């Protein structure tokens, strides 16, 4: 089993990564909980696959559980209504301040459960058991929780760290290829931010990660979690222009997700892949990134079979308006994560919106 440590101001916790951790690796969880119970939150796709096995393994490990909470699957669930239902169900089953909420599922389950845990009784213990590649390499680590609103993605939420992250690579065996690719976009993001040799590795081994070669998956997950842990330790609350780098591809990507209406045509990771390409192409247009680097990224995305364009019409003014609604923006204008090359991302403030509009007009064609 691999272990990555995350040091934050709130707490220090372990990410355990292994094949079969959910069945055989629950010691750490039972140590952490002592006699306290857990309430498992999952979605209706993950429940039939993993809930029963997990509850049985918990029983064997001596961990007591209360009735699980199952929410509808998909991005559309990241809203006030579902958040409220998770909170009232949790309170309804009589949990106390030490009962842990466990998120068993993808980033949607993780983001809602973490948010609920942060506000129930002003904060109860929270554990992440991510079952999508995206959640294993990104959303389960670092403590950002939240929901979407009509105005945009993740505009309501909290910083709330989990006490433990358990990553079982076996759960990836049931993950649809499209979801694997969505997760791969976030792995690629770490390489593009500050790790050019990881990009070389992905050019060589990325197809193995996507095809389910367990050792390669474990390595890519460990490397991604370590990158995220380093960035989060350096700038937990996104105050120093370090954590914001994790938003590479996300300002473009989130705008596309909002335009798509979270209806499943464009997954978060797909939007991130398109967004990374746009960030690199825009950086080339700005004269700050060598064209070869952007071409290298495009050809890797194509080879990996990633979605390259939004599967719906995009109006440039609408897209710019959505990008202007991003959390990173200040009174001085748009903030974008741009790149001087592969592995050389940086935060660019006060970007001229007219240049973004012209670039997008060219992209949409
Ligand atoms: N908090 C953060 O730091 C952070 C970081 C990145 C992304 N996110 C958020 O994460 C969300 C995306 O997460 P996601 O891609 O995991 O989406 P998701 O939670 O919707 O999961 C994708 C789909 O896979 C299903 N699924 C989950 N595990 C499965 C398995 N093992 N086998 C078969 N099916 C399975 C789910 O039911 C769902 O239908 C977005 O809302 C995004 O904003 C948050
Ligand atoms: Zn993301």
Task: For ligand 1, atom 11, name the residue with the nearest CA.
Answer: 107
Task: For ligand 1, atom 2, name the residue with the nearest CA.
Answer: 139
Neighbours of 358 (CB within 10 A): 13
Please say whether the beta carbons of 216 and 202 come within 8 A: no
329 pLDDT exceeds 90?
Answer: no
Mean pLDDT of the chain: 95
Task: For ligand 1, atom 5, name the residue with the nearest CA.
Answer: 139
Task: For ligand 1, atom 10, name the residue with the nearest CA.
Answer: 107
95 pLDDT band, cuts 50/70/90, is confident
Q: What is the spatial distance between Cα 63 and Cα 34, in angstroms, rounded to a whole number? A: 8
* Ligand 1 pocket, residues with Cβ under 6 angstroms: 43, 45-46, 49, 73-75, 78, 105-109, 111, 131-132, 134-135, 138-139, 142, 144, 153-154, 171, 174-175, 179, 182, 268-269
pTM (predicted TM-score): 0.96
Secondary structure element (H or E) that encloses residue 213, with its range: none
Please say whether the beta carbons of 99 and 123 come within 8 A: no
Average pLDDT over residues 337-361: 96
Phi, psi of 289 (to 5 degrees): -130, 135
- The 10 Å CB-count burial string (b at 16+, else e) for 242-279 is bbbbbbbbbbbbbbbbbbbebeeebbbbbbbbbbbbbb
How far does residue 194's CA lie from ligand 1's centre (Å)?
Answer: 24
Secondary structure element (H or E) that encloses residue 196, with its range: helix 196-211
Here the tokens at position 258 are 């909002």
How far does residue 279's CA lie from ligand 1's centre (Å)?
Answer: 23
Q: How many residues does the chain have?
A: 365
Summarised one tens digit per residue, pLDDT across range 212-269 is 999 999 999 999 999 999 999 999 999 999 999 999 999 999 999 999 998 899 999 9
Phi, psi of 279 (to 5 degrees): -65, -40
Please say whether the beta carbons of 11 and 161 come within 8 A: yes
How far does residue 40's CA lie from ligand 2's centre (Å)?
Answer: 24
Determine the pLDDT at residue 207: 97
Which residue in 202, 205, 256, 195 sits closest to 228, CA to CA?
195
Summarised one tens digit per residue, pLDDT across range 24-48 is 889 999 999 988 999 999 999 999 9
Catalytic residues: 122, 144, 186, 228, 238, 243, 247, 250, 254, 268
How far does residue 118's CA lie from ligand 2's centre (Å)?
Answer: 21
């Amino acid at each position: 089993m691999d272990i990555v440590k995350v040091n934050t101001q709130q707490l220090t916790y372990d990410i355990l990564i292994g094949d079969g951790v959910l069945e055989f690796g629950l010691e750490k969880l039972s140590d952490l909980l002592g006699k306290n119970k857990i309430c498992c939150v999952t979605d209706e796709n993950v429940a039939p696959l993993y809930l029963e096995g997990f509850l049985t393994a918990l029983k064997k490990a001596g961990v007591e559980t209360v009735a699980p909470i199952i929410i509808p699957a998909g991005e559309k669930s990241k809203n006030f209504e579902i958040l409220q239902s998770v909170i009232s169900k949790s309170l309804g089953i009589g949990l106390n301040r030490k009962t842990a909420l466990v998120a068993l599922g993808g980033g949607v389950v993780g983001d809602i459960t973490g948010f609920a845990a942060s506000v129930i009784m002003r904060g109860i213990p929270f554990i992440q058991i991510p079952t999508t590649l995206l959640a294993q390499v990104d959303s389960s680590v670092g403590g950002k929780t939240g929901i979407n609103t009509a105005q945009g993605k993740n505009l309501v939420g909290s910083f709330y760290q989990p006490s433990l992250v358990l990553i079982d690579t076996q759960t990836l065996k049931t993950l649809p290829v499209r979801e694997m690719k969505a997760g791969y976009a976030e792995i690629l993001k770490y390489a593009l931010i500050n790790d050019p040799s990881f990009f070389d590795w992905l050019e060589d081994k990325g197809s193995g990660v996507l095809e389910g070669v367990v050792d390669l998956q474990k390595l890519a997950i460990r490397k991604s979690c370590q990158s995220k842990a380093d960035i989060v330790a350096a700038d937990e609350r996104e105050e120093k222009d370090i954590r914001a780098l994790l938003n590479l591809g996300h300002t473009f990507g989130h705008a596309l997700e909002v335009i798509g209406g979270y209806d499943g045509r464009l997954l978060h990771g797909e939007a991130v892949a398109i967004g990374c390409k746009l960030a690199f192409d825009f950086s080339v247009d700005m004269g700050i990134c060598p064209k070869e680097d952007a071409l290298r990224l495009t050809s890797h995305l194509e080879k990996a079979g990633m979605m390259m364009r939004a599967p719906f019409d995009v109006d440039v003014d609408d897209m710019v308006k959505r990008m202007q609604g991003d959390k990173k923006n200040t009174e001085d204008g748009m903030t974008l994560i741009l790149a001087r090359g592969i592995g050389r991302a940086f935060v660019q403030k006060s970007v001229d919106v007219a240049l973004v509009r012209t670039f997008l007009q060219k992209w949409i064609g």
